[in-house]
Copies of this chain bind each other. A is one copy, B any other.
């Protein structure tokens, strides 16, 4: 069982963020010490990693909660086939959303590269001040 500091360190999130995700219902600590310190299992560290992977794709916390719920249903061994089916559909939705966002990211990247290039161009001191433009 790990304390929040260890967990945050390993996943690369701040304590605040971990607590925030808890507040938002993404993951509650498996246990607490007598004094109230949060205690986490390795599984929960994985869950946090998953969350951290989703974030850059711009999913909101609510969406992440939904996705995690679907995952939970699929992972659990005692969920009905209907639930599983719904969960799979939910995941499929997220998968295509993720694909769309990845495309957007790719476009962003391309434009950002253009921009950076332009920036470097402006940075170079013009030789003979042949003011073009």
| In the complex, chain B residues whose CB is within 8 Å of the CB of A115 | 53-54, 57, 98
Q: Is the CB of A71 within 8 A of B105?
A: no
How many residues of A are in contact with the other chain, CB < 8 A? 34
* Cβ-defined contact, A98 with B123, below 8 A: no
Question: Are A125 and B56 in contact, with the CB atoms below 8 A?
Answer: no
**Partner-contacting stretch, out of A4-12, A19-27, A31-39, A106-114:** A106-114
Contact in complex: B123, A56 (CB < 8 Å): no
A13 to chain B, nearest CB (A): 15
Chain B residues in 8 Å Cβ range of A111: 53, 56
CB atoms of A122 and B91 under 8 A apart: yes
Measured CB to CB, the closest approach of chain B to A108, in angstroms, equals 4
